[in-house]
């Protein structure tokens, strides 16, 4: 039986904007209040996804969230017609309106944590939506995320969906952005690495002092239990608090893994050598490639600025690995030099491909942020909602859909435009028909 690692990329939503909502995310803060281009953002994401499909990868798309989120605005006391709710929120609490218009679900690395069937006791793929409690604009996502995942992976014989963790900072969970998986082959039992920023129940444990640690050890342990993972196929690693304070808000900004390769910065983790030894032991003597990028070659500042580690490492059909990097990496001499070097190091990584995803980068998310990885058997791929898998026809249809419904420019003040509600809902209603998702949004119920 064939085995794959599928990538499910988030479609950028119609309200893609730069409101600077993500404290601790340097790119998000630096570009706050700039004008965005939702149409260009969606097309950049689609182009990157289609390129991977053309390389022979299994590539899917996940629908965006409903925005503006009038349901949440009503929950917090704004009443009246849709236009009145929007108008009142814009006048009385513009920061709350901005949170309810965020298109941050485009970064599906934060959508959920996924454990493939090779790792779980019941032989199913397990999904737990991230609760994202650290940021208001993201904390309103999990229920709809769960709906979209259930409509995409919609066969209960193969897929097990869990409710998101309790909505409390003790269980702060940011999804696959703090999780990676090492394995010999995608269909073999693997080793799941959970990276956390702090222990919530231990006030004396190390944690960052400037920016929040969004993932807790307690959340990672809970997901391992839910997903029926054994101790021997789980490793819990603490992210270095000092790099969190330098803008490394998720592990996937400082490390990324694929099959038997772990690509990470010298300063990424706490107690690095001990954890590498644990990984070696639990990998049962199979060949591993640890690629440690020294600070002397790439600084933390350059790593964050270019998202060197927020790249995708994929295994091509010919068995070679390739790095999918943003063009920002090309434009930084130190990072570009390092990527030219990494393909010569004798590891499985032999290629680097660059893609323009600047609309996403300017809001704090690179290529790896845009995708959720799901290791799957051929039968499991066939059990997915086939209308969500990218091919030539769906690519053309989604591009036409974006052209029809998306704006070329969106400023933060445009979020108060009642017409944006109509445009967004019309677009999403049509999308659910294109992708055969059923009623996944609040406005459809």
Per DSSP, the three-state class of 423 is helix
Strand segments (E) across 229-362: 234-238, 255-258, 261-265, 289-293, 312-315, 321-326, 349-355
Q: Does the annotation mark 250 as catalytic? A: yes
Would you say 62 and 387 are in contact if contact means Cβ atoms under 8 Å apart? Answer: no
Q: Does the annotation mark 162 as catalytic? A: no
Which among 106, 176, 113 is positioned nearest to 141, based on CA atoms? Answer: 106
Given a cut of 90, whether residue 235 has pLDDT beyond it is: yes
Supply the pLDDT for residue 353.
Answer: 97
pTM here? 0.96
**Distance, CA of 104 to CA of 256 (rounded, Å):** 21
What does the mean pLDDT of the chain come to? 95
In Å, how far are 144, 243, 268, 296 from 25, measured between CA atoms? 24, 12, 16, 23
- pLDDT bin (cut points 50, 70, 90) of residue 365 is confident
Which of 66, 141, 174, 380 is an active site residue? 174
Which of 100, 101, 329, 369 is an active site residue? 369
Q: How far is CA 86 from the centre of its chain?
A: 29
Reported as a single tens digit per residue, the pLDDT across 18-27 is: 876 755 555 5
Q: Residue 404 gets which letter from DSSP?
A: H
415 Cβ neighbours under 8 A, 6+ residues apart: 15, 17, 19, 68, 90, 97, 98, 101
Supply the pLDDT for residue 300.
Answer: 97
Supply the pLDDT for residue 27.
Answer: 52
Supply the pLDDT for residue 22.
Answer: 56
Reported as a single tens digit per residue, the pLDDT across 94-125 is: 999 999 999 999 999 999 999 999 999 999 99
Q: Which of 23-37, 54-68, 177-191, 351-365 is predicted with the least confidence, judged by mean pLDDT?
A: 23-37
**Distance, CA of 136 to CA of 169 (rounded, Å):** 12
Which of 250, 265, 289, 405 is an active site residue? 250
291 Cβ neighbours under 8 A, 6+ residues apart: 261, 262, 263, 264, 342, 345, 347, 349
Q: Residue 198 gets which letter from DSSP?
A: B
Supply the pLDDT for residue 313.
Answer: 98
Q: Does the annotation mark 100 as catalytic? A: no
**Distance, CA of 389 to CA of 154 (rounded, Å):** 13
Query: How are beta strands 125-129 and 112-115 bridged, if at all?
Result: antiparallel
Q: Which of 24-28, 255-259, 394-398 is predicted with the least confidence, judged by mean pLDDT?
A: 24-28
Mean pLDDT of 164-178: 97
């Amino acid at each position: 039986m064939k085995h794959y690692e599928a990538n499910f990329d988030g479609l950028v939503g119609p309200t893609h904007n730069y409101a600077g909502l993500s404290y601790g995310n340097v790119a998000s803060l630096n570009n706050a209040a700039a004008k965005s281009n939702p149409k260009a953002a969606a097309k950049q994401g689609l182009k990157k996804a289609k390129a991977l499909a053309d390389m022979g990868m299994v590539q899917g798309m996940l629908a965006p969230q409903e925005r503006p989120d009038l349901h949440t605005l009503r929950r917090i006391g704004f009443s009246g017609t849709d236009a009145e709710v929007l108008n009142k929120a814009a006048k009385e609490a513009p920061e709350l309106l901005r949170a309810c218009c965020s298109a941050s679900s485009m970064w599906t690395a934060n959508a959920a944590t996924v454990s493939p069937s090779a790792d779980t006791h019941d032989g199913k793929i397990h999904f737990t939506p991230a609760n994202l409690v650290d940021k208001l604009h993201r904390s309103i996502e999990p229920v709809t995320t769960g709906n979209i995942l259930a409509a995409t992976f919609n066969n209960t014989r193969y897929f097990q969906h869990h409710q998101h963790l309790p909505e409390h900072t003790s269980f702060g969970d940011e999804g696959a952005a703090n999780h990676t998986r090492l394995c010999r082959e995608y269909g073999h039992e693997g080793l799941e690495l959970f990276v956390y920023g702090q222990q919530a129940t231990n006030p004396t444990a190390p944690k960052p002092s400037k920016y929040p640690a969004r993932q807790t050890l307690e959340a990672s342990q809970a997901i391992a239990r839910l997903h029926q993972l054994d101790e021997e196929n789980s490793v819990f690693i603490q992210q270095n608090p000092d790099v969190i304070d330098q803008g490394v808000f998720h592990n996937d900004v400082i490390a990324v893994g694929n099959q038997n390769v772990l690509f990470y910065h010298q300063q990424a983790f706490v107690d690095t050598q001990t954890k590498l030894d644990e990984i070696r032991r639990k990998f049962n003597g199979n060949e591993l490639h640890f690629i440690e990028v020294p600070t002397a070659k790439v600084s933390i500042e350059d790593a964050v600025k270019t998202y060197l580690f927020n790249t995708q490492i994929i295994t091509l059909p010919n068995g070679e690995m390739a790095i999918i990097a943003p063009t920002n990496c090309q434009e930084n001499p130190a990072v570009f030099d390092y990527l030219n070097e990494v393909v010569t190091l004798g590891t499985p990584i032999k290629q680097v491909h660059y893609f323009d995803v600047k609309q996403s980068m300017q809001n704090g998310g690179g290529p790896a942020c845009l995708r959720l990885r799901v290791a799957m058997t051929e039968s499991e791929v066939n059990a997915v909602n086939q209308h969500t898998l990218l091919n030539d026809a769906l690519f053309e249809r989604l591009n036409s859909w974006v052209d029809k419904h998306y704006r070329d420019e969106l400023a933060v003040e445009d979020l108060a435009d009642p017409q944006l509600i109509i445009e967004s809902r019309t677009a999403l209603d049509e999308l659910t028909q294109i992708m055969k998702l059923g009623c996944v949004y609040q406005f459809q119920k």
